[in-house]
Amino acid sequence: MGPTQAETTCRNTKTKMDYTIVGFPRIGENRELKRATEAYFRGGQSSSELLDQVKELKAGQWEKLRECGVFMPPSHDYSLYDGMLDTTWMLNAVPERYKRLGLDATGTYFAMARGYQGEHGDVTALSMKKWFNTNYHYLVPELEDGMTLRPEHMDFLDDFIQAKELGIETRPVIIGPFTFLKLAHCSGDKRDFVQPLAEAYADILNAADHHGVRWLQIDEPSLVTDLSAEDVSLFRALYEKILAVRAGNHETRTLLQTYFGDVRDCYGELIALPLDGIGLDFVEGKQTAQLIARYGFPNDKTLFAGLVNGKNVWRCNYENALKQLRDIRKVTENVIISTSCSLLHVPYTTAHEPHLPKEVTAHLAFAYEKLEELRELGRLADLEHPAQDVAYSANVLLHSDGPLHANPEVQRKVAYLTEKDFIRNTPRKERQKIQREQLRLPLLPITTIGSFPQTESVKRNRANLHKGVISREEYECLVRADIRRCIELQEQLGIDVLVHGEYERNDMVEYFGENLDGFIFTRNAWVQSYGTRATKPPIIIGDISRKAPITTPWISYAASLTSKPVKGMLTGPTTILNWSFPREDVPGSVSMYQIALALREEVLELEKAGIRIIQIDEAALREKLPLRHADWHSEYLDHALRAFRLCHSGVQPSTQIHTHMCYSEFEDIIPEIDALDADVITFEASRSKLTILRALVQNHFETEVGPGVYDIHSPRVPSVTEIATSLKMMLRDIPADHLWVNPDCGLKTRNLPETVSSLKNMVRAADCVRATLL
């Protein structure tokens, strides 16, 4: 494959002002890392073969970044699975249950990520949570009493040395001690780990000095969250200890990098530390510009200014960015232009999307195109009259355009919404009585979250449709056959509320976007979600409306095959928005309401077709919650709740509305989740050790609830006893007539034998626990 336009341009132009990036995508332009890792999981290659492939992928990436003129390209931002897991491994913070397995290093690492079940033992994986306000998931470290933290696995130096052997000097990236400690689960007092962490990070800095590292990037995104006085004191104590323990003479410069917001709670303490560089976010950081204008920036430090949005795919507005840069240079001239955060959150390049119209791609900037934007900004920053430059003029013209697809009728519908459109007339407690009488479900109803395994044949059928190998009619016939088998399997297993398996869907968001106006879709724009899992987020380019029925034909067909209730499966408005690349020219609430109106049409159509249980997934409700508590309701949460209620407020009281949420910290928004006015909600819970139960009790949660009884992101099969134990724990806090039994999440990523074994054990466990309640 030849070089992209961005690569070619970067090779031929040198800017005076240095520019860099916080981090880069790491799955490979063609998802090479995913394929290599999954081959290792299947036993198709050894750990050494996997690591050799990863070395090649890293080398190619560093070379491309060097060619594009990136100042000291980052290294060690490339992970086998997750950066927090890498930090856990580096610090030897490996819980004893994984060490006891006696696996090799790679096996132990992946046991923490995915769990392990085999000849060496049976362990669950580390908990998995959303990385701040993104759709990326991280592994939660577990700090055990008596655990000795010491940097044994210096992988960041291995990467630095490998790159240096290639003639490329990189800037190693590690997650900082404050963020690591804040996000870790600790069985005791976290303060007990301050001194060990400080000593470990001092050792890391000394090792970097010893190996000739010129710049070391320490990521501290937790600094942009609401910090208490105790938090600020903890941050200061950690870094004062690190810098005090560190050897006196050192060459390595330290860059403390923040992203996803501003550091208003600790700016004074941050700039007072003897650091060499500080990375600040000028895109999501609402107060970043005011902070440096008001309090200044030290002359002995370099400001890494995050001016190019690392989380969205729209072209940077040069006029706005250069104005910000001019204001920054009034405070300090010691500036390096950067991205607002790692480019991990965007695809590689628009060059892989030749099918998209040029008038669309002209507006888009993926990772390689963002390198071009950084180069252009660096060049324009040194011009006396940048407005006279051709590139600047073209960028201004680009941003003067309105939305690519405007729909005045959709805009009118949103404008004329009234309060009654957001309210279901019958109170929930009355609805619960009606639904129990009509649905006649047993105690502890058993269901799944929605999707069933996307087998190779399912994927092959979809690929053959796109290639023209089979017709649309032939494809739909194959999908109906899969649905029929799925219904038969669930009936054999003894599941009470069935699903159709979602075989017609490529992705829970992409599928709906394809059936809505206002979206465009890529073919190769993959973005990592966790580990080997990647998605292709749709891109919202205009006003959103429903083209035609989306799910009703498939759900109706499934319901015709059984006498048991079948759930209608929809993805909710906030999740569709959050797992797409949103517009930047309208508030997110506008897009939320437009999607909700489209889904409302679908919900009412499902009800008219006789579907009495409809699940509207809001898996991503929590993840885009503003990181500052003061912004929760005014900017996001109130709109998200109203958009969900808009979807279902028109249904009859006998129609049971479900929703599902996963892999986020829900405990602090339990009242708001109850206010969604759903009838049943399923949560991810097993991987987070059922911690949500206490919050449900404390907040007098009214919605019927199904905390997940086993982790679907792990290949291990849970035992009947394990699931029964979890259900008994749940029944201590949740009334039996309010408790549902279900896995943590959809089963799409699992294989069929694992799924069948796990569901069999889930049904047996539920039957055992039911017997004790009768």
- Residues recognised as catalytic: 713
Whole-Å CA distances, 185 to 541, 584, 633, 762 = 40, 36, 27, 28
With H, G, I as helix, E, B as strand and everything else as coil, classify residue 232. helix
> What is the C-alpha separation between 102 and 174, in angstroms, rounded?
27
Q: What angle do CA 149, 155, 159 make, to 5 degrees?
A: 155
> What is the C-alpha separation between 141 and 129, in angstroms, rounded?
11
Question: Is there a contact between 614 and 650 (Cβ–Cβ < 8 Å)?
Answer: no
Q: Could you give the residue ranges of the DSSP H alpha helices within 567-705?
A: 573-578, 588-608, 632, 638-648, 670-674, 692-698
> Which amino acid is present at 329?
R
- CB under 8 A, 24+ apart: contacts of 151-155: 151/90, 151/91, 151/92, 151/200, 151/201, 151/203, 151/204, 151/207, 152/90, 152/92, 153/89, 153/90, 153/92, 153/105, 154/90, 154/204, 154/207, 155/76, 155/86, 155/89, 155/90
CB under 8 Å to 271, separation ≥6 — which residues?
A: 278, 295, 296, 297, 298, 301
> What is the C-alpha separation between 767 and 646, in angstroms, rounded?
37
Question: Is there a contact between 498 and 446 (Cβ–Cβ < 8 Å)?
Answer: no
Residue 581 sits at φ, ψ, to 5 deg, of: -90, 115
> What is the C-alpha separation between 201 and 179, in angstroms, rounded?
13
> What is the C-alpha separation between 376 and 321, in angstroms, rounded?
11
> What is the C-alpha separation between 651 and 487, in angstroms, rounded?
26
Say if residue 454 is exposed, middle or buried (CB neighbours under 10 Å; 0-12, 13-18, 19+). buried
Count of other CB atoms within 10 angstroms of residue 430: 11
Whole-Å CA distances, 143 to 90, 148, 188, 368, 510 = 14, 9, 8, 38, 38
